[in-house]
Amino acid sequence: MVRDVTLGQFMPGHSLIHKLDARSKILLLIAYIVFIFLSENYFSLALITVASLAVILLTKINFKFYLKSLKVILFVIVFTGILNIFYGSGTVLYEWGFITITEGGINNAIFVIIRIAVLVMISSVLTFTTSPSDLTDAIEKLLKPLSVFHIKVHEIAMMMTIALRFIPVFLEETDKIMNAQKARGADFESGNVFQRIKALIPVLIPLFVSSFRCANDLATAMECRCYNGGNNRTRMKVMKFSLADLFGLMFSLLVFAGVILLNLYLPAVVR
């Protein structure tokens, strides 16, 4: 059913990674992604992979969930992997007609597969260990400098929070309406593409109507509590950098330094 969709879901816990400040998690994640793509040989790639796996283990979340997030894009990984085999230069290993497989191609394929896999798993760390509200708070803080350019950062963050908050609500609503229409004989499971799209109209219209109703109610509720935007608003939970953040930063800097050194002193195998 629709409910089984896993949307970067948050898994509450008390691990070291959970305790990190959401802002440092976002920044470190970006840095990790950059360094995953900066590593040019097997040694630096291995280093960043092992470091990422260490972070994943530190979250104390069952590894099964990370594999599940990989499963979603398995096709993309395999497809780009296979495609990459045929690109690249270097020693020709195999030739048949117009197909040539080179050493560089194989290296490219292995790199691209590992890079995407690690990228997805390390990104899952952020969504698994950070509650959506912390996440949007952190994004708001990080984007704050943009308000110099008159970008309404607080409003963007509020919209994100609300959107995230209402995903489960609308999933449930969809489920309800689908059941109600099924009870009147709606058939979502058979017919060709056009028939199926047409069968969804009785679900989409009520859903649309109810989302407007929800938005209206929410706006009223917010106004009743005198919500008036981001100026001079204080927070219930103030974000603080802690010792854990310092430790995470140090660890990551060491890893990044290692990647740079390995890149400098060992030959690159890709490109």
Residues found near another protein in the complex (CB under 8 A): 176-177, 179-187, 201-202, 205-206, 209-210
Give the contacts of 107 (CB within 8 A, at least 6 positions apart). Answer: 88, 90, 269, 270
Would you say 133 or 211 has its CB closer to another protein? 211
Min separation Cβ 184 and another protein, Å: 4
Q: Give the C-alpha separation, 122 to 34, whole Å.
A: 12
Would you say 123 or 211 has its CB closer to another protein? 211
Q: Give the C-alpha separation, 254 to 250, whole Å.
A: 6
Would you say 180 or 219 has its CB closer to another protein? 180
Min separation Cβ 214 and another protein, Å: 11
Would you say 186 or 270 has its CB closer to another protein? 186
Min separation Cβ 5 and another protein, Å: 14
Min separation Cβ 170 and another protein, Å: 13
Would you say 87 or 208 has its CB closer to another protein? 208
Q: Give the C-alpha separation, 242 to 16, whole Å.
A: 11
Distances (CA, A) of 43 to 119, 264, 271: 17, 11, 16
Residue 231: DSSP 8-state = T
Q: Give the C-alpha separation, 15 to 146, whole Å.
A: 32
Min separation Cβ 2 and another protein, Å: 14
266, containing H or E segment: none
Distances (CA, A) of 153 to 119, 130, 150, 196: 27, 20, 9, 40
Residue 8: both structure tokens together: 């970067």
Min separation Cβ 1 and another protein, Å: 11
Q: Which of 104, 107, 106, 115 is nearest to 45 (CA)?
A: 115
Would you say 92 or 218 has its CB closer to another protein? 218
Min separation Cβ 22 and another protein, Å: 25
Q: Give the C-alpha separation, 116 to 77, whole Å.
A: 7
Would you say 205 or 253 has its CB closer to another protein? 205
Q: Which of 10, 61, 54, 58 is nearest to 168 (CA)?
A: 10
